[in-house]
Chains A and B, each alone.
Chain A
Amino acid sequence: MLASLAGVLFDGFAYGMLLFLLSVGLSVTLGMMNFVNLAHCSFAMIGGYVTLTLTNSLGWPFLASLPAAFLAAAAASVVLERTLYRRLYRASDLDQCLFTIGVVFVSVAVAAWIYGTIQQSISTPPYLRGSVQFMGISFAVYRLFLVAFALVITVVLVALLEYTRFGAQVRAAVDNPRMARGLGIDVDRAFMVTFALGGGLAGLGGALAIEVVGLDPGFAFTYLVYVLIVVAVGGLGSIGGSFLAAAVLGISDMAGKYYFPWLGAFLIYLVMVGLLMWRPAGLFGKR
């Protein structure tokens, strides 16, 4: 019983780390640029399909395809930001919502057109398969890899935004764009790089998600809800908040599916609505 509980906790945490990778980019762009980008999971989908094509069709090693997924999603998000999104920075929430939902519809249709609607899977390298036993509990190697990866990303992100010159510029640009411009900071460029970073991280999350949840064109919609929950509950722009929210969400989702399967996703939505009513700006939100 205790072993199974620990197993559920670990699986849930690993799943939560996946959600964290998928959503941290949105937390950054939404929190910093105040742009409701519902198409965030479309970038994740781009990353996923890039990895899928590279490993399954072109025979790239899995780990080598991850940077490619990051770069492809980052490039796509920069193109979209430069051409379309930037015109909507001052638009209303509703307009941003509608516009990005439109982008999701288009991306889902394009993915279905290229790859078909069936769920795709990926063959991970042998060293990421199987599981290790520790104190009577078996840990899947891939999930351990996910957890380690997410922890590294968190540390890198926090260091980047809190302790580097670039991070200071971004935070300045967000807090007071006019003042930042006055000090000679290129606010547009800071936003563009932030957006690319957010999109790229989503692409990375999408690539890593295939092994766990599979990949089909519906991905952009299915995980949008989860990602929004993580961001809304964790608080905008808070990396630590996203981390915690993703971990709680992953564990409660996994535990719910394991112990109360008849409830389905009901529990998750209930937790989200409750938390939002209690703290509308999220657990760690400032506004």
Chain B
Amino acid sequence: MAAGGPFREALKRMTAADPAVAGPLQYLEAQVRWRRIEIAFWLATLLPFVVTPAYLQLASQIAITALFALSLDLILGYAGIVSLGHAAYFGVGAYTAGLLSKHFWGEPLSGLAAAALLSGLVGYATSHIIVRFRHLALIMLTLGLGLLLHEAANSAHFLTGGADGLQGVRIRPLLETFRFDLYGRAAYAYSLAVLFLVFLVARRLIHSPFGLALRAIRENAMRMPAIGAPSRAHLRKIYTISAVMAGIAGALLTHTTSTVSLEVLSFQRSADVLVILILGGAGRLYGGILGAIIYMVARDQFSGINPQYWYFWIGLLLIAVVMFLPNGILGGLAKITARWRGRRP
């Protein structure tokens, strides 16, 4: 691999976005500012409360999926760690929240913290394995670890209920006031608030020197250690953070649906979240969120058709995205706006 090429290219690409910025730090500062469209987007997330109150349950599912996709984006989009088994951490979070409410107490916020902690621990433990591998071995290892955990949960019937799912999950009302009911008001408010808070953390991370280092590792994994950056430590850190976020998403699912099934650990879930992220645009903060909105709404609308045929369209979509939209919908949009802006003056 020609050293230097990709890294310099990436920096050039990043700084070329705005000719006024001189170096990476200025670039980061320019990125940190909130743009108007971002503020408008987050205000729009409140619309379902008034416009589509019948769909709040779906909206909360979208928020949870978006959070999960965001967690994958941190490692895949920014650090370049391809994972086919990210559902492992989602599942750890979901089961932690479920088991806690079944055996000890059902207060959601402490359950969320416990899920975050445990999935973070699992993430930290596995990160030591993950960062040592790349390419096919990495893909196979993430797949293998995911399947391993799925089988373990399936076998540990006494703990998880196996294929029947975890029975007897009881969640207390949020802050002892808001009950998680069929209408999903509390569920959506809760998921959205958590999504927003985690998003703020992710946004801060990505726009820090640490985030820039991650992108540099993604662009050229050999160069970073050569210039003295502890690239494996960086990767371990972001992998653990990503696992924490995935665990939080899993716990949210348990809290808002009061059930945990084996499906939270399945390969299907890992593959779905990958599709969602790629569709929206990996390596972009809003990619996972946009992908989750489109995917979940489409699945809800087409839920009448046979799931077999749903996956036919998902397959075609994947093929089309890889061939024609390599950076997802957001990447395509960014290209169009850049071209439009370039032509205007």
Binding site for B on A (CB under 8 A): 30, 36, 84, 87-88, 91, 93-95, 97-99, 101-110, 112-113, 117, 217, 225, 228-229, 232, 236, 262-266, 269-270, 272-273, 276-277, 280-281
Q: Is B23 an interface residue (CB 8 A)?
A: no
Question: Which residues of chain B are near A30, meaning CB under 8 Å?
Answer: 136
Cβ A117 vs Cβ B136 within 8 A: no
User: Would you list 5 pairs from A and B whose C-beta atoms are within 8 A, ordered by A residue?
Assistant: A94-B82, A99-B319, A112-B308, A263-B151, A272-B140
Question: Which residues of chain A are near B144, meaning CB under 8 Å?
Answer: 229, 269, 272-273, 276
Cβ B312 vs Cβ A87 within 8 A: no
Cβ B151 vs Cβ A106 within 8 A: no
Residue-wise interface mask of B (323-344) relative to A, using a CB-CB cutoff of 8 A (1 in contact, 0 not): 1001000000000000000000
**Interchain CA distance A236-B139 in the complex, whole Å:** 14
**Interchain CA distance A147-B111 in the complex, whole Å:** 54
Question: Which residues of chain A are near B323, meaning CB under 8 Å?
Answer: 84, 87, 99
Cβ A106 vs Cβ B136 within 8 A: no
Query: Separation in Å of the B135 CB from the closest CB of chain A?
Result: 6
The listed residue (A88, A106, A264, A270) touching B322 by CB distance below 8 A is A88
Query: Separation in Å of the A76 CB from the closest CB of chain B?
Result: 16
List the B residue with the shortest CB-CB distance to A97: B139
Question: Which residues of chain A are near B174, meaning CB under 8 Å?
Answer: none
Cβ A281 vs Cβ B315 within 8 A: no
Given contacts A93-B135, A93-B136, A97-B139, contact A265 B129 (CB under 8 A): no
Residue of B84, B136, B141, B323 with most chain A CB atoms under a 10 A cut-off: B136
Q: Is B316 an interface residue (CB 8 A)?
A: yes
The listed residue (A106, A217, A228) touching B319 by CB distance below 8 A is A106
Q: Is B30 an interface residue (CB 8 A)?
A: no
Cβ A228 vs Cβ B137 within 8 A: no
Taking A99-B318, A103-B315 as given, write out 8 further A-B residue pairs in contact, using a Cβ cutoff of 8 Å, ordered by the A residue number.
A98-B278, A101-B271, A105-B311, A106-B319, A236-B136, A263-B155, A266-B151, A280-B133
Query: Separation in Å of the A169 CB from the closest CB of chain B?
Result: 25
Cβ A109 vs Cβ B137 within 8 A: no
Q: Is B314 an interface residue (CB 8 A)?
A: yes
Q: Is B143 an interface residue (CB 8 A)?
A: yes
Q: Is B41 an interface residue (CB 8 A)?
A: no
Residue-wise interface mask of B (60-103) relative to A, using a CB-CB cutoff of 8 A (1 in contact, 0 not): 00000000000000001000001010000000000000000000
Given contacts A98-B274, A108-B311, A277-B129, contact A232 B136 (CB under 8 A): yes
List the A residue with the shortest CB-CB distance to B152: A266
Question: Which residues of chain A are near B148, meaning CB under 8 Å?
Answer: 266, 269-270, 273
Q: Is B145 an interface residue (CB 8 A)?
A: yes
Cβ B137 vs Cβ A36 within 8 A: no
Given contacts A87-B323, A273-B144, A273-B145, contact A102 B315 (CB under 8 A): yes
